[in-house]
Amino acid sequence: MPTVVEVFESRILRRNPLGDPHVRRIPVHLPPSYGTGRRRYPVITLLSGFTGSGETLLNRTAWAETVPERADRLVRSGRMAESIIVMPDCFTRYGGSQYLNSSATGRYEDHLVRELVPWVDRRFRTIPHARARAIMGKSSGGYGALVQGMRHPEVWGSVVCHSGDMYFTYCYLPDFPKCLNLLAPYRGRVERFIRAWDRMPRKSDPALHAAINTIAMAACYSPNPAVPVGFDLPFDPHTGELRPRVWRRWLALDPVNMAARHVRRLRRLRLLYLDCGTRDEFHLQYGTRMLASRLRRLGIRHVHEEFDDGHMNVQYRYDRSFALLSRALARR
Amino acid sequence: MPTVVEVFESRILRRNPLGDPHVRRIPVHLPPSYGTGRRRYPVITLLSGFTGSGETLLNRTAWAETVPERADRLVRSGRMAESIIVMPDCFTRYGGSQYLNSSATGRYEDHLVRELVPWVDRRFRTIPHARARAIMGKSSGGYGALVQGMRHPEVWGSVVCHSGDMYFTYCYLPDFPKCLNLLAPYRGRVERFIRAWDRMPRKSDPALHAAINTIAMAACYSPNPAVPVGFDLPFDPHTGELRPRVWRRWLALDPVNMAARHVRRLRRLRLLYLDCGTRDEFHLQYGTRMLASRLRRLGIRHVHEEFDDGHMNVQYRYDRSFALLSRALARR
Amino acid sequence: MPTVVEVFESRILRRNPLGDPHVRRIPVHLPPSYGTGRRRYPVITLLSGFTGSGETLLNRTAWAETVPERADRLVRSGRMAESIIVMPDCFTRYGGSQYLNSSATGRYEDHLVRELVPWVDRRFRTIPHARARAIMGKSSGGYGALVQGMRHPEVWGSVVCHSGDMYFTYCYLPDFPKCLNLLAPYRGRVERFIRAWDRMPRKSDPALHAAINTIAMAACYSPNPAVPVGFDLPFDPHTGELRPRVWRRWLALDPVNMAARHVRRLRRLRLLYLDCGTRDEFHLQYGTRMLASRLRRLGIRHVHEEFDDGHMNVQYRYDRSFALLSRALARR
Amino acid sequence: MPTVVEVFESRILRRNPLGDPHVRRIPVHLPPSYGTGRRRYPVITLLSGFTGSGETLLNRTAWAETVPERADRLVRSGRMAESIIVMPDCFTRYGGSQYLNSSATGRYEDHLVRELVPWVDRRFRTIPHARARAIMGKSSGGYGALVQGMRHPEVWGSVVCHSGDMYFTYCYLPDFPKCLNLLAPYRGRVERFIRAWDRMPRKSDPALHAAINTIAMAACYSPNPAVPVGFDLPFDPHTGELRPRVWRRWLALDPVNMAARHVRRLRRLRLLYLDCGTRDEFHLQYGTRMLASRLRRLGIRHVHEEFDDGHMNVQYRYDRSFALLSRALARR
């Protein structure tokens, strides 16, 4: 029942290229019975979306539950098995890391798998096996969960991806011309834009989203240590023309394209759950359908659901995934 | 430096008409030196905006400080005097109370002035005088601060109103036809709308704002114990025509109109600070100008500022008001 | 079948205050049999909306009929009686005249009733009686039709008002703060705004609508020969506060308020038809309902209909009104 | 000075696949001196944008000139040489033909080059040489002008492209997921959508644009006589995945990609003028820059300009192109 906010000092994130802190605050929600016995529990690692971190999952908003409140309610009503929920902080100066290693942002994938997982197993009474470990998330967190599951099935036995970033052609590319417009006053020089943005009182202005998001994704998907800013934009900053070499690097990290390269690993998962709203503002329902169709063709067991809603404020979908996970994590 | 979240059991809010909890969580931020001596400190009571509560002021968002972090930074840099910051919770089922007493929501004004202030003075080492007490807020919180200052100058010596609800003709009335549209599927019956809304998974959907906000304000400004829902809408739910009797009740609570009725009290304030962005999405800069112009005409000392921004994410304005307050609260 | 565009030299509009032309091009659509006999026909005068004129009703747009094409189709299919359709031009430099006399724009009401009607009766084989004359229009044209019908029932026997400007509190007032924002760069001086606007290459930019429309309506509803610009704005250009004296002049010309003052005249109408879409972007369905409810209370015969659509591109409603008019105009 | 609207009976458009009329109304604007002598004049063929036709260029709108009025003003002021302006009608049931031959819409390219040009030379006192013939247009009309110029330099000596469709990756592709959303209620079956749309009273609803435009472009760029609807959509209607074979057919008709295949022909042009607004809502400034940069690299003479505006209502740019054309058409 209590949520403890752990202070974790990362070795891997120390001296990361963006100067982001290597000491992170990581909320861990413990199940109701945790304090009253010696039982061991499965662990759900819950990845936040772009601009979020573990602590933002505890934010209080009107008429809504926090993640711990939701879990407690579900456990009380018998729809969810008691589990430990770990909420990592992989926020970066640009808004997020996509939970990948990148020379432009830091080694967040390693941080998750090599540091956090062992530390959680040491610090809490977990069932320290992949079969009792799930990774899940929404939006960028859903992306992260999928990629972790594809690459580290020996760590994660179950994967839940809610409204995850997918089919970059529809979810990122339409932002490129808008990003170009926002870079225009800086003559297309992204480092000038970033410098100006650093000084803005309202850095999260929705009007800037196309630029911030594109920059953040470029730092994750097309890092380039040879250039001062540390990453390549996927387009020419003046004409806007796609740079095929860079864009291909992005596409190589699109889950829709990754699936075929990770068939054997994906087959090891106990649960692979995907969902998306049919009115998703980033059109992620289409990428999710493509991935589901590829999984079907590749013979990979999965659950694919759609619901009548958009991208934002759909945490009520966790009711569904927490319930499914409870069964998957319980199986021996 | 530490922020404690106090659990306050209100006698006044017990059995409030909306069934909202009478036990509230109230963050109190203590100044850096609080733990190290016997000094007494001025108190700033910070009222949150519509849909917010004390705890939402602690929410973590990307690239932004929480209120305690902001205060700590300002104190460290010498721009703010050490103060206790109290963050009340006057949230209601409809999203807020406007910090007023209402037979439809509860006695939030009494809760603030009769319960919270004495409790803070008992529980913390405050300077228990009006001169060392400030009330401030943004949006609905700014409205609340103004009204408190007008009505209880014996309690509050200083008032800060950021982008406060004012000139209801511009800030609420344009929402009425939109509210009518949202009530239409329920045949204009507000209680049916509320019942349906209670069951919605996304109660804070921006598309519903015009209805929720109008309902909440009606519960605050035109309560009516004689009708089942507990309040009067300011318009006919079918034709939309303004109900002059109800609308006049709203206007009587518009700060722009209240000023002339509270001249003597307003003159007692040590600081009366108003600001608003010149691109406020609710057009509050106009109401704020009207109030400032009336204050000028009535010979009431005040500071009125405008800044080049909208309504959202302008917490950076607290840097300005915390600094001004520090001086006002220090004066003997 | 042919539509002739007549060139009309107005005596009344000569030397109008805005310098608009007094020679106007007025399309007149003649019924199919007009050329083949000596029959006389009823006359429908069709008033265009804000920014429109008679000729804009002939504009060709994709997948849509012009007014003459629509009438011809309806006549062919037997749903409409053969009629002469006159399409006046009461456009002004500010976008329209609301078909009123105003010292700020010109005497457009007189132009319609004293000049155009007699000229049509002289020039074409009309049935020169009120019972065979209808006035109709949409939006500002619907407003014009209503007001003409209220004031000149000896001229017009039937009135059709589609989505007409009504309940100014909802259809105009919400634009006032937006207008204030647009005037702000000109320090609130409307004459400076007008001068700058005159030089803009894109005078009809939708972003300017709130200013242009408010200015045009002020010129129609609150002319004031004593000020250089020729009219009073209904608000203080700095604080935005409503000027009650000016705003009352507007409200006196609101059809919702005019009805009670024109009961006897309204009773003389053979047809009084009102409709509006339930998703009207200017919320005119509410004003229309108020007017209908007043007409009912005053015992004035009328037809009131609603349809599931917005304000724009609803010319298909003319199929309904042309059919109703055909019956009304045929009655002896 | 007079504009005649010619009725042209096309042999080539007879029995076109969409059942569109083969008799078209084609406005021809004659220069002021045309009636007073035997002089011959250069000819400007002006192509309208998507959903437009020749006659829509004569539409009257508030505060704006029609094309003939603009030309007359420019001639009067000496900024434009007297010319004949021909305004073809290549509208189709789907909104436009892109001035291409397509088995799904009809042979509009042939209609222009093989029928209209000879007919104009026969019917009017033209200078019947490529050097005295220009083709120009805006948006889809700009696209048409470019493609005509690339393919038929023996017919057209000068080309003007205002805000032309280019770099389909930015101007069309971002609409694909929106089109998918609009097709969803019809289970992705485009023929069902078209059937429903045919019956809608408001076929030009902006909310439908992404679907109508994508369908129209598919009919132009990827016709397929083997399927009942006559064309291939560039994506799977369920998952939304791009169909690479179809998408490549589109890209082959993207001016940005066509340039390199038409170098010799483009070099023959006397004037090749491109412009675009820097705030174009369809982001066409980027495609235009790409084309200009390719032209530069290929050593093709051209003029490329940008202006501070969006995509709509920028006819004032014709003042610039008519002036440039006058010089180009005058050269021997």
Nearest to D217 by CA among D233, D204, D193: D233
Residue B96 in tokens = 């807020």
How far A62 CA lies from chain B's nearest CA (Å)? 5
Q: How far is CA D215 from CA A173, B76, D22, D220, in A?
A: 21, 62, 22, 9
The DSSP string of C318-330 is HHHHHHHHHHHHH
The DSSP string of A254-270 is -HHHHGGGGHHHHHT-S
Strand, helix or coil for residue B31: coil
Hey, are the CB atoms on B242 and C169 less than 8 Å from each other?
A: yes
Question: Angle CA(B85)–CA(B86)–CA(B87) in degrees, nearest 5?
Answer: 120
Q: Which residues on A lie below 8 Å from B59 (Cβ)?
A: 56, 59-61
Per residue in B308-332, pLDDT (tens digit) is: 999 999 999 999 999 999 999 998 7
Hey, are the CB atoms on D52 and C62 less than 8 Å from each other?
A: yes
Q: Which residues on D lie below 8 Å from A184 (Cβ)?
A: 278
Residue B129 in tokens = 């005088």
Per residue in A109-140, pLDDT (tens digit) is: 999 999 999 999 999 999 999 999 999 999 99
Nearest to A214 by CA among A171, A243, A244, A252: A171
Percent over 90 (pLDDT), chain B? 96
Hey, are the CB atoms on B181 and C241 less than 8 Å from each other?
A: no
How far B101 CA lies from chain C's nearest CA (Å)? 28
Hey, are the CB atoms on B169 and C174 less than 8 Å from each other?
A: no
Q: How far is CA D299 from CA A296, B20, D148, D287, D329, in A?
A: 51, 75, 20, 18, 22
pLDDT at B228 over 80: yes
d(CA A253, CA A139): 15
User: What count of other Cβ atoms lies within 10 Å of the Cβ of residue B206?
Assistant: 10
Q: Which residues on B lie below 8 Å from C239 (Cβ)?
A: 286, 289-290, 293
How far D32 CA lies from chain A's nearest CA (Å)? 42
Hey, are the CB atoms on A204 and B64 less than 8 Å from each other?
A: yes
Question: Angle CA(A71)–CA(A74)–CA(A75) in degrees, nearest 5?
Answer: 85
User: What count of other Cβ atoms lies within 10 Å of the Cβ of residue D313?
Assistant: 15
Nearest-CB residue to D290 (from A167, A170, A239) = A239
Touching subunits of A (3+ CB pairs, under 8 Å) are B, D
How far C123 CA lies from chain D's nearest CA (Å)? 25
How far A31 CA lies from chain B's nearest CA (Å)? 22
pTM: 0.96
Per residue in B232-284, pLDDT (tens digit) is: 999 999 999 999 999 999 999 999 999 999 999 999 999 999 999 999 999 99
Predicted local distance difference test score (pLDDT) of residue A316: 96
Nearest-CB residue to B63 (from A63, A203, A313) = A203
Per residue in C271-320, pLDDT (tens digit) is: 999 999 999 999 999 999 999 999 999 999 999 999 999 999 999 999 99
Residue C55 in tokens = 């000729």
Residue A117 in tokens = 């997982």
Touching subunits of D (3+ CB pairs, under 8 Å) are A, C
Q: Which residues on B lie below 8 Å from A316 (Cβ)?
A: 201-202
Q: Which residues on C lie below 8 Å from B176 (Cβ)?
A: 170
Predicted local distance difference test score (pLDDT) of residue A245: 98
Nearest-CB residue to A91 (from B52, B62, B204) = B62
Predicted local distance difference test score (pLDDT) of residue A133: 98
Only one residue has tokens 């809010």, namely B13
pLDDT level of residue D130 (50, 70, 90 thresholds): very high
Structural contact between residues A237 and A194, judged by C-beta atoms closer than 8 angstroms: no
Q: Which residues 6+ apart lie within 8 Å of D272 measured at CB?
A: D149, D158, D159, D266, D295, D300, D301, D302, D303
Predicted local distance difference test score (pLDDT) of residue D2: 86
Nearest to D256 by CA among A241, B237, A223: A241
Q: Which residues on B lie below 8 Å from A313 (Cβ)?
A: 202, 204-205
Task: State which residue of chain D sits closest to C49, comparing Cα positions.
Answer: D62
Nearest-CB residue to A177 (from D170, D178, D240) = D170
Best of A165, A168, A170 to disrupt the D interface (most D CBs within 10 Å) is A170
The DSSP bridge pattern shows strands D106-107 and D101-102 to be antiparallel
Q: How far is CA B123 from CA B14, B118, B126, B133, in A?
A: 21, 9, 9, 15
pLDDT level of residue A255 (50, 70, 90 thresholds): very high
Q: Which residues 6+ apart lie within 8 Å of B268 measured at CB?
A: B153, B157
pLDDT at D223 over 60: yes
Q: Tell me whether chains D and C touch (3+ CB pairs under 8 A).
A: yes
- What ipTM was predicted for this assembly? 0.95
Predicted local distance difference test score (pLDDT) of residue C46: 98
Hey, are the CB atoms on C181 and B293 less than 8 Å from each other?
A: no
Predicted local distance difference test score (pLDDT) of residue B1: 55
Nearest-CB residue to B56 (from A60, A201, A316) = A60
Question: Angle CA(A204)–CA(A209)–CA(A211) in degrees, nearest 5?
Answer: 115
Strand, helix or coil for residue C273: strand
**In Å, how far from its chain's centre is CA B136?**
8
How far A294 CA lies from chain B's nearest CA (Å)? 31
Nearest to C318 by CA among C146, C133, C66: C66
d(CA B314, CA B310): 8
**In Å, how far from its chain's centre is CA A69?**
21
How far D316 CA lies from chain C's nearest CA (Å)? 7
pLDDT level of residue B201 (50, 70, 90 thresholds): confident
- Chain B residues whose C-beta is within 8 A of a chain C C-beta are 167, 169-170, 173-174, 176-178, 180-181, 184, 238-242, 278-279, 283, 286-287, 289-290, 293
Per residue in D291-330, pLDDT (tens digit) is: 999 999 999 999 999 999 999 999 999 999 999 999 999 9
Per residue in A214-241, pLDDT (tens digit) is: 999 999 999 999 999 999 999 999 999 9
Residue type at C197 in one-letter notation? W
B218 CB burial (10 A radius; 0-12, 13-18, 19+): buried
Q: How far is CA A280 from CA A139, C167, C171, D173, in A?
A: 11, 38, 33, 17
Strand, helix or coil for residue B165: coil
Nearest to B313 by CA among B102, B101, B61, B121: B61
Structural contact between residues C109 and C101, judged by C-beta atoms closer than 8 angstroms: yes
User: What count of other Cβ atoms lies within 10 Å of the Cβ of residue C34?
Assistant: 16
pLDDT, average across residues C200-223 = 95
Residue A3 in tokens = 């949520």
Q: How far is CA D154 from CA B103, B221, C129, D84, D322, in A?
A: 84, 77, 64, 19, 21
Hey, are the CB atoms on B173 and C169 less than 8 Å from each other?
A: yes
Predicted local distance difference test score (pLDDT) of residue A332: 75
Hey, are the CB atoms on B283 and C240 less than 8 Å from each other?
A: yes
pLDDT, average across residues C170-177 = 98
Q: Which residues 6+ apart lie within 8 Å of A77 measured at CB?
A: none
Nearest-CB residue to C64 (from D61, D204, D316) = D204
Predicted local distance difference test score (pLDDT) of residue D1: 55
Per residue in D50-87, pLDDT (tens digit) is: 999 999 999 999 999 999 999 999 999 999 999 999 99
Predicted local distance difference test score (pLDDT) of residue A1: 55
pLDDT level of residue D202 (50, 70, 90 thresholds): confident
Q: Which residues on D lie below 8 Å from A283 (Cβ)?
A: 177-178, 180-181, 240
Predicted local distance difference test score (pLDDT) of residue A201: 87
Q: Which residues 6+ apart lie within 8 Å of D212 measured at CB?
A: D94, D95, D197, D203
Best of B187, B286, B288 to disrupt the C interface (most C CBs within 10 Å) is B286
- Chain D residues whose C-beta is within 8 A of a chain A C-beta are 167, 169-170, 173-174, 176-178, 180-181, 184, 238-242, 278-279, 283, 286-287, 289-290, 293
Per residue in B124-156, pLDDT (tens digit) is: 999 999 999 999 999 999 999 999 999 999 999
Percent over 90 (pLDDT), chain C? 96
Task: State which residue of chain A sits closest to D293, comparing Cα positions.
Answer: A239
- Chain A residues whose C-beta is within 8 A of a chain B C-beta are 51-53, 55-56, 58-64, 91, 95, 201-205, 309, 313-314, 316
pLDDT, average across residues D185-213 = 94
Q: Tell me whether chains D and B touch (3+ CB pairs under 8 A).
A: no
Hey, are the CB atoms on B56 and A55 less than 8 Å from each other?
A: no
Mean model confidence pLDDT for chain A: 97
The DSSP string of B94-135 is TS--TT-EETTTEEHHHIIIIIIHHHHHHHS-B--SGGGEEE
Predicted local distance difference test score (pLDDT) of residue C1: 55
